[in-house]
């Protein structure tokens, strides 16, 4: 496979969004399991910059960056966020936690819009069906992230061998 493009989601895949929401208690009182986005926005970019890596994500990300440097794949971060504070915070997180070039970070407004980057040579690693299903329907390939970076990394290594 040539020109393998790998797109990585941030929230719930690279970074632990749920733990951050739990830390501040930013859940809506009127709806179970729904984030209170007004509180997240009010917290500002720091909300995003303070997030922890998902377990195993930092090591996996470093290995994927090495694979990209070795020419085995093109690596991108593809994250959906529909407000400026979130975009700024995510950029801050990337700058403070990685040496990943910001020109390879793509933001779109809604999870389903990630499908714009789908083609036969592209793969999306994401934890949300709301992102994965449209990406696959648009002709891309998907790896559903279920919390195990070792498994995902193994799948990516196998793709690079093809």
User: What is the per-residue pLDDT for 3?
Assistant: 80
Helices in the chain by DSSP H: which ranges? 17-24, 37-43, 46-49, 57-69, 84-97, 129-137, 149-161
pTM of model > 0.85: yes
**Token output for 62:** 């470093």
Longest C-alpha distance within the chain, in Å? 50
Query: What is the rounded CA–CA span in Å between residue 150 and residue 129?
Result: 20
User: What is the per-residue pLDDT for 2?
Assistant: 58
Nearest CA to 127 out of 84, 85, 72, 80 is that of 80
What does the pLDDT look like over 44-63, one tens digit per residue? 999 999 999 999 999 999 99
> Do the Cβ atoms of 18 and 51 come closer than 8 Å?
no
User: What is the per-residue pLDDT for 161?
Assistant: 86
> Torsions phi, psi of 156, nearest 5?
-65, -40
User: What is the per-residue pLDDT for 50?
Assistant: 96
> Do the Cβ atoms of 159 and 1 come closer than 8 Å?
yes
Query: Domains, the chain, ranges and CATH?
Result: 5-17+53-161 (3.40.50.1000)
* DSSP code, position 5: E
User: What is the per-residue pLDDT for 81?
Assistant: 96
**Token output for 94:** 């990337």
- Give yes or no for residue 33 having a pLDDT over 90: no
Query: What is the rounded CA–CA span in Å between residue 61 and residue 73?
Result: 13
* DSSP code, position 146: -
* DSSP code, position 51: P
What does the pLDDT look like over 95-126, one tens digit per residue? 999 999 999 999 999 999 999 999 999 999 99
**Res. 1 pLDDT band, cuts 50 70 90:** very low
What does the pLDDT look like over 63-103, one tens digit per residue? 999 999 999 999 999 999 999 999 999 999 999 999 999 99
User: What is the per-residue pLDDT for 31?
Assistant: 84
């Amino acid at each position: 496979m040539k020109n393998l493009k790998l797109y990585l989601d941030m929230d719930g895949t690279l970074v632990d969004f749920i733990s951050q929401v739990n830390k501040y208690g930013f859940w809506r009182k009127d709806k179970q399991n729904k984030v209170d986005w007004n509180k997240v926005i009010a917290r500002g970019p720091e909300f995003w910059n303070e997030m922890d890596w998902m377990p195993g994500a930092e090591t996996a990300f470093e290995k994927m960056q090495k694979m990209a440097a070795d020419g085995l794949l093109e690596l991108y971060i593809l994250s959906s966020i529909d407000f400026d504070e979130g975009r700024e915070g995510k950029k801050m997180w990337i700058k403070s936690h990685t040496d990943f070039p910001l020109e390879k970070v793509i933001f779109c407004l809604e999870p389903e819009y990630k499908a714009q980057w789908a083609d036969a040579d592209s793969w999306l690693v994401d934890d949300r069906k709301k992102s994965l299903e449209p990406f696959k329907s648009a002709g891309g390939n998907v790896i559903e992230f279920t919390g195990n970076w070792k498994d995902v990394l193994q799948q990516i290594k196998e793709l690079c061998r093809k």
